[in-house]
Structure 1
């Protein structure tokens, strides 16, 4: 059984696998451990990863990148509308109001959901894993940002299903990093001792996340998380792009933003320049040949100018650091270490601000790029029965408080109660008791819309049906189980009608009275466990109907596209086989076969090879697979019919 962890990044993806010798980050067909989160659609097939990235400039309208941030978001979402003008490809409003991506594929205009595009990327990562492991891959653990809401998590989970993956857990980025850090530590304090508190700072291409995690031997507990979902390496790239756009406008009279290709090239060069400035403080050049209108452009910048240009973004670094420390109720003296991961944390100015805030030297003991994927693979190994891994329990947190609201058809007014507070332990279940005479609906939503990096604070609606009064006409006791699962997704998982009660423990009573709840260490309500074991009470359970905004789709189209890609690959392979045979045989006729072939046969075969080569680049440019196979067979027949002393050696 395979054990795979995937860091599904905004810009790049990493795959880690668990083998008997430990955790290994695997390389793709380009011998690159990093696979770009990029999908390019063309007239014949799709290109994904490195091949797609090479199409960003030449096929910019149909090459999709940076799509992770659209998961679970409506087309009219202010964030989506703000991003739309920056994109070289087109967005489209779907029937259900969500964001679609419009491209030209197989010479037709197509609109794909974000889940379908991510499903394509995950399919590629799955294939890469299978080639490395030499066996099928199904089970996996995939990372998501800790600030992702229910809708965004459900959307990513849908994409895993489109790719044919069984996602055992969607794990928060910083939690995966914490696991990769802690599981190998041999000197962690015992459970009876004071925990070791470590800050994990992760700034990637598009977001900034911070968490504080308490470690004891065999377990980790996330104490608090904070984030800036709109601060990352791309902000610094865009600041450089804005700077050079203005400079080139004055210096060369070029309006760069009017030319999508030129703008994309400038983005690529600015990203390279940013990385160089992280390692060099001297003046560095930026040169682009034939940039626009056959004009070469050049400029220079140093680290001081860069920091001045990006001052507005550097000022935002300390805010999440301060927030996470306040929420954890710890002081700086309680922090054992500060670990940095993510590509953007290599920027010296960011390192300086983090060091200054915590008054502590920062640590870079983890691989900044691969730590998330390694943590995902470790979590997958823990969850898999095929691997024996040191026991290590993980307690994560609920990033945003969640409230339930309820109303029955004949009742006046609404009732509501916060069921999960901010930074509440997760995964976690609670059992809530209602006193009702008829079916009712529950609405779940985030309690603090102002703190949510998402415009819609609603999570979903849940219909509790088949509720009837007791025989004596009194209200029935209905126990409803609510849960935040391992994926960080909220659900009303079940409902039970208690027909007779006796000897019950404390529970959360939802009527007109104040509420209270007592919960055990495993996150399961004590009253629920007692009722299940209590033979004096009768319980009837049924399914709760849930209604969410996301729609799972794309299974059949994904299979069709995979078949189309395979067909195109087979045609290309057949064509390449003819071309390779032509070059190989021509070299051998002038080399090792020269003394064994008659001049007449050599001339005849050479002419046949030339005719085939000319055909390949003219009429044979686009032919069915069978035609290429017939051409190759004809060449082989011509070779095997040679006269002379060739076969006698």
Structure 2
């Protein structure tokens, strides 16, 4: 069994695997190391990855991309509503209020959840891994942005289960990069020495993340994280698109925004232009043929003008850097290095601002595109029993403070406690002791809604049941265990009731376990023994393994459609392969009839066969355009019945000289054996 790390980006995905003592990035069937985060639904099947990206222009209403940020978000979410007009495909409000994606698939209007779409993408990445490794892939680690909330992380985790993956950990992008950086360093300070502090800056296509990490030999600890969830490479693309839309409106009288296909083409060209400007400061052309209404358009842009247009975005680069440095309680002099990753960090103006803020040159020792996937693969190798890796501990942080509120049916007022402060170490468990006489409810929520890049600050509601007073009428002591697990997901994982009993003059305590029920977005809980407060890694891992094997009822409903779509894709592929086999045989045999097979067939047979091949070719592009698989197989069999004898005669003629040569060699060998035997017989008689 292989273990892989998956970087699910807004625009592209990367897969890395730990094998042969190192980390490799896996290429897909197109020999590309990156797979576009695209899913295209069509009348017969789905296309995912590179094949789907090729459909963005021609099938734009049913090609889904840029869906990563819809995870766990309601349809009425302001971010979703702001994105809706920019999308070529349609969004739909689901029954639970979440965001669905409406497309036309198999000639019917279908609505898919974000988890299902991501599940399709992850299934494709899983297949790519298995084809490259020639082994089954189950265990994986998947990256998520550091600013993803509880609901968003649960949504990604659900998508991994739909894809049939055992996600050992959802790891934040910057933590994965830090692991990829630190695990190979041989010169890290010992635990007794001052740690090496490194800043990791990751600006991808849709977001900007910063983390400051302290390294010692065999471990890393995230000191702080900061982010701008809405600043990334696509902002710079959109600035160019807006500029050229206005220019083409005045120059060519074209209203580009009214044509979704034209907007998509312009986006593609602007992204290419942006990348060229990162490497070239001179004027660069932008030319698009037959852009709209059969009109060719052209323009020019240079880096200086581009940076002026994007000044509002460049100004936002410094703030996350400043926040991360302040939260880490370090000075600029304490920073050992500044590592940058992500495609958008290639923009010279962004590099300059990062270097200027920290007062030192930025480092590019890591692969800007693949570092996250490589870190995910390393973490998966560490967690999976299938691999043996050097020990390397990782301590992440809780990005947003979490508060717990409680209330009993007969109590007046509410109690509150901030159980996890901002930048608290994670994963981590805590035990809270309550004195209660009756069941009570717990509500978990993020403490500072104004700092949350998400409109709903609620996490989940939990009900602690079967709480009764002590025999003497006093309140019972109830211990409730809360935790942030390795996925960054909060849960109330257990509760125990402590009863006082008399025994031989000494009081003793017996722990029993009231049932903990959850509502809202809280996960289903296991009954379990409460452990002492602390980040017990063994306990954490055992619970993750048990929880990852559970599938909720909502997810079960997603598995059947997923399997049906996979079967449908397989049937369509087999059909296309059968059709292509007929076409390939027609072209191959026709060429050889006039070439290498010419002297092995009579002129009359050649004429009849050529006519049959021509008829088959015409049939393929007319009545045979859409036929069942069996029809194509019958056509191929009919052609082979005529072509096989010719092939056999050619092969026999080609193989006969070699056969005679081999026969001659064998005869010579036997003759030598006979002569040797005769000599031995003669010697014996003498």
Partner of 1:547: 519
Partner of 2:569: 565
Q: What SS does the aligned partner of 1:201 have?
A: strand
Note the 1:6-155 alignment, pairs <5 A: 6-155=6-155
Distance 1:377 1:542 in 2: 39
For 1:578, which of 578, 582, 603 is the aligned residue?
582
Equivalent pair of 1:438/1:467 in contact (CA under 8 Å) = yes
User: What CA deviation, in whole Å up to 9, does each residue of 1:551-591 have, x standing for no partner?
Assistant: 53411110000000000000000000111111111111111
Distance 1:132 1:642 in 2: 38
Partner of 1:637: 641
Q: What SS does the aligned partner of 2:363 have?
A: coil
Partner of 1:351: 351
Partner of 1:414: 414
Equivalent pair of 2:597/2:647 in contact (CA under 8 Å) = no
RMSD over equivalenced CA pairs, Å: 1.5
Equivalent pair of 1:598/1:644 in contact (CA under 8 Å) = no
Q: TM-score, normalised by structure 1?
A: 0.94
Q: What SS does the aligned partner of 1:100 have?
A: strand
TM-superposed deviation, 1:545: 1.4
TM-superposed deviation, 1:601: 1.1
Relative to structure 1, is the Cα distance of residues 633 and 543 closer, same or farther in structure 2, using a 3 angstrom cutoff? farther
TM-superposed deviation, 1:536: 4.0
Q: TM-score, normalised by structure 2?
A: 0.89
Q: What SS does the aligned partner of 1:537 have?
A: strand
Distance 1:490 1:644 in 2: 69
Equivalent pair of 1:195/1:214 in contact (CA under 8 Å) = yes
Note the 1:379-458 alignment, pairs <5 A: 379-458=379-458
Partner of 1:620: 624
TM-superposed deviation, 1:535: 11
TM-superposed deviation, 1:537: 2.2
For 2:608, which of 604, 607, 612 is the aligned residue?
604
Gaps of 5+ in 1: 503-533
TM-superposed deviation, 1:387: 1.3
1:187 aligns with 2:187: yes
Distance 1:547 1:211 in 2: 33
Equivalent pair of 1:601/1:643 in contact (CA under 8 Å) = no
Note the 1:477-516 alignment, pairs <5 A: 477-500=477-500
TM-superposed deviation, 1:500: 2.7
Equivalent pair of 2:288/2:297 in contact (CA under 8 Å) = yes
Structure with more helix by fraction = 2
Equivalent pair of 1:223/1:397 in contact (CA under 8 Å) = yes
Partner of 2:5: 5
Relative to structure 1, is the Cα distance of residues 647 and 333 closer, same or farther in structure 2, using a 3 angstrom cutoff? closer
TM-superposed deviation, 1:305: 0.2
Equivalent pair of 2:481/2:494 in contact (CA under 8 Å) = yes
Distance 1:70 1:596 in 2: 64
TM-superposed deviation, 1:263: 0.5
Equivalent pair of 1:597/1:643 in contact (CA under 8 Å) = no
User: What CA deviation, in whole Å up to 9, does each residue of 1:241-266 have, x standing for no partner?
Assistant: 00111111111111100000000000
Relative to structure 1, is the Cα distance of residues 77 and 109 closer, same or farther in structure 2, using a 3 angstrom cutoff? same
Distance 1:97 1:126 in 2: 30
Aligned length: 618
Partner of 1:318: 318
Equivalent pair of 1:437/1:475 in contact (CA under 8 Å) = yes
User: What CA deviation, in whole Å up to 9, does each residue of 1:484-524 have, x standing for no partner?
Assistant: 0000000000000011389xxxxxxxxxxxxxxxxxxxxxx
Partner of 1:519: none
Equivalent pair of 2:466/2:515 in contact (CA under 8 Å) = no
Distance 1:648 1:114 in 2: 59
1:259 aligns with 2:259: yes
TM-superposed deviation, 1:386: 1.7
Which protein is bigger by CA-based radius of gyration? 2
Equivalent pair of 1:435/1:477 in contact (CA under 8 Å) = yes
Distance 2:514 2:364 in 1: 51
TM-superposed deviation, 1:648: 5.2
Equivalent pair of 2:287/2:298 in contact (CA under 8 Å) = yes
Equivalent pair of 2:500/2:507 in contact (CA under 8 Å) = no
Distance 2:559 2:353 in 1: 46
Equivalent pair of 1:597/1:644 in contact (CA under 8 Å) = no
